[in-house]
Amino acid sequence: MSSDFISTPLQFLKGVGPRKAADLKRAGLVTVEDLLYRLPFRYEDRSRMQPIASLRPGQKAAVLGEVTSANLAVTRRRGFKIFHAVVSDASGAIRCTWMNQPYLADVLKPHLQIVVFGDVKLDSSGLHFLNAEFEVVSDDLLRLHMGRIVPFYERAGTVTPNMQRKLVRTALDLLPQDIADPLPAVVRERQQLVPRREAIEHTHFPPNEASVDSLNRFRTPAQRRLIFEEFFLFQVGHAWRRHAASAELKPHVVVVDDRVRASAAKILPFKLTPGQRTSVKEIVDDLRRPQPMHRLLQGDVGAGKTIVALLAAIVAMENGLQVAFMAPTEILAGQHYGTIARLLSQSRFRVDLLTGSTPELRKHTLSAHIERGSTNLIVGTHALVQEKVKFHKLGLVVIDEQHRFGVAQRASLRAKGLRPDVLLMTATPIPRTLALTDYSELDVSQIPDLPPGRKPIRTWVKPESRRDEVYQLIRDQLDAGRQAYVIYPLVEESEKIDLKSATAMADHLQVEVFPAYRVALLHGRMKQEAKDRVMHAFAAGQIHILVSTTVVEVGMDVPNASIMVVEHAERFGLSQLHQLRGRVGRGQWDSHCVLLYQAPWTDDARERLKAIAATTDGFAIAERDLELRGPGDFFGTRQSGLPRLRTGDLVRDRDVMEVAHGEARGLVEGGGLTPELQEFVEHRWEKQFGLIEVG
């Protein structure tokens, strides 16, 4: 066999005919490598079969014996069937019982040799196995399936776990000792990695002294090595593209001198927090570099990202460049416009707002201003750069509350011949592991601290039956001069129903509960002007209770609002609840967030509400959310920048990703990319990780 045996199609393996090859292919297994990198998902220690006579209640055990009797009993409960078998070895016999699996009568016939694996239970008639796992043992399987630590594979279509176990053994027996290793020797040594060949062998067929516990946690050196390999290859692709992008140059130069600094200092309404100061410095350093900035600014809700972006904007504008400031919703764009226009009112810079609902005529006028360069800073929704707007000299794009600056936006900028600095801002803390996958090519700045004087938010989880107390809590706040949010979920499938209940609730609160206060409704289906009117009235304190769907989730800033009630809190995701809660606690008062849930709640919902009540640390919440939901759901439908992985798990193996990221960047930036890796990155990376081109 040549050294590229590993890329041989599986159909050339002994025992794989055309039909089996087709089955394997359907399960995504085409080459020997595909097979070898489809790792066992769990392991069982069958290295020691226990004599039946030595079994003790409560232990987990494997026994090998002969089926000496078997019968299927039908219970009085209609249709409920119990299959009994007795398994005997030289030392004794034990009962085995399986509930509601009548087909076992055809499988476990007397005289068969079987391995039974499971918990040993004790009942009034003695020891037995209940619903234990079992395998019928034939001679040629003996070597693989018992008397050792046995790997278990997820069933893949018609490819059974046993079949895979056998195939893997066949392939391993043919796999040359000196297979090529994609990992550079320096990395292998530094990380003390097991050789590739050994890692593959020991991941599938661990030596008997391996710890089954470590194996099941994917912590053995062999498993870690294969996971590292995958993560490293993934990170090398990112590092390489990041490196390649740094060859691009901006069409403009930015200088920061005393005049620029003075101009920025003049608009500053408060003292920056240390986190803000560091972020500003990192961003401004980027602006001065010849390569376009591609930076993510992370800071929890209320951390004060807007001012950081605005300071960057001043630097750009002082250098004669235009700035586009984009928000995900018109409400937010309007709010940013208000804030920025106010802060820049004493400056010589002109700020405009352009959104989907800007009247046509006004749009034309604005477009002319932007094209001529008389508008210095334009605030809009994310569609801004995609619209037909032509910029005079676009230098900086700020994108608020969006996780990623998509392929489409980037392409449309390039199409306009633009290569601006890009600053993304997000308040959804991105767990480090995901930051290392989806955002691996970005630089990241963090604002870990909140501005001084913020009062902690008290979070209450209450059942529907305590609604009256909740109303009292709202009333206390309103009587003290504060304002309240009442949030309704808006799930797409039941949008109409939810809208109805939100509307009904607004009426109910107004007429029956809080007749002395003003209640208003805000939802996504309202006309823009109507939304604006409500928002402004709430911000101005003319509305006391805002009943809203989740449109307020991002960015709204009304410091006088000190209480939020989330209806049907059990329906919200963890990060979403965190975002919502961030709408209160923005002023100098103690704030409350009440999560009202409707019983019965699921275990998941209970976990979520418990987690959100336990902490206000956005990063802790994001990590927990990632654990509860898994990486795919974490971003919901908003993103799809996650790699297709075959050995590693983004949550379980996050520490490995961290190390792989560092090694890959170090290698690429240090010019150490081997020709093999170069070839991989250019021609096979995309296919292996199944990503759409990021940025």
Three-state SS across 440-477?
A: CCCEEEEECCCCCCCCCEEEEEEEHHHHHHHHHHHHHH
Q: Which stretch binds ligand ADP (CB under 6 A): 10-18, 271-279, 469-477, 527-535?
A: 271-279
184 binds Mg ion (CB under 5 A): no
Nearer to Mg ion, 35 or 396 (CB): 396
Among 299, 395, 431, 643, binds ligand ADP (CB under 6 A): 299
Q: How many residues bind ligand ADP (CB under 6 A)?
A: 17
Residue number of the CB atom closest to ligand ADP: 304
C-beta of 344: minimal distance to ligand ADP in Å? 14
Q: Which stretch binds ligand ADP (CB under 6 A): 53-61, 264-272, 358-366, 499-507?
A: 264-272
Nearer to Mg ion, 228 or 325 (CB): 325
557 binds ligand ADP (CB under 6 A): yes
C-beta of 420: minimal distance to ligand ADP in Å? 21
303 binds ligand ADP (CB under 6 A): yes
Nearer to Mg ion, 340 or 502 (CB): 340
555 binds Mg ion (CB under 5 A): yes
Nearer to ligand ADP, 273 or 437 (CB): 273
Torsion of CA 59, 60, 63, 69, to 10 degrees: 80
Q: Are the beta carbons of 336 and 306 closer than 8 angstroms?
A: yes
Q: Which stretch binds ligand ADP (CB under 6 A): 287-295, 302-310, 341-349, 378-386?
A: 302-310
Please give the span between the terminal C-alpha atoms of the chain, in angstroms, as a whole number: 42
Concatenate the DSSP letters of all residues of 546-566 into one string: EEEEGGGTTT---TTEEEEEE
| Closest alpha carbon to 479 in 544, 419, 425 | 544
C-beta of 389: minimal distance to Mg ion in Å? 23
Nearer to Mg ion, 83 or 325 (CB): 325
C-beta of 299: minimal distance to Mg ion in Å? 9
Site for ligand ADP in 424-453 (CB under 6 A): 427, 451
DSSP reduced 3-state for 218: coil
305 binds ligand ADP (CB under 6 A): yes
**What tokens appear for 377 in the block?**
């800073």
Whether residue 600 is preceded by a cis peptide bond, meaning omega within 30 degrees of 0, is yes
618 binds ligand ADP (CB under 6 A): no
256 binds, among ligand ADP, Mg ion, none (CB under 5 to 8 A by kind): none
366 binds ligand ADP (CB under 6 A): no
In angstroms, rounded to a whole number, what is the distance separating the alpha carbons of residues 475 and 516?
10
Nearer to ligand ADP, 171 or 327 (CB): 327
Q: Which stretch binds ligand ADP (CB under 6 A): 25-33, 66-74, 298-306, 511-519?
A: 298-306
Three-state SS across 91-123?
A: CEEEEEEEECCCCHHHHCCCCCEEEEEEEEEEE
- CB atoms closer than 10 angstroms to residue 345: 10
- CB atoms closer than 10 angstroms to residue 527: 9
CB burial of 626-662 (b: ≥16 within 10 Å; e: otherwise) equals bbbbebeebbeeebebbbebbbbebbebbebbebbbe
Site for ligand ADP in 629-688 (CB under 6 A): none
403 binds, among Mg ion, ligand ADP, none (CB under 5 to 8 A by kind): none
CB burial of 394-422 (b: ≥16 within 10 Å; e: otherwise) equals bbbbbbbbbbbbbeebbeebeebebbbbb
541 binds ligand ADP (CB under 6 A): no
Nearer to ligand ADP, 151 or 429 (CB): 429
CB contact set of 355 (below 8 Å; sequence gap of 6+): 330, 333, 334, 380, 381, 528
Residue type, position 685, single letter: W
Residues at the site binding Mg ion, with contacts judged by CB under 5 A: 555
Residues at the site binding ligand ADP, with contacts judged by CB under 6 A: 270-273, 276, 299, 301-307, 427, 451, 557, 586
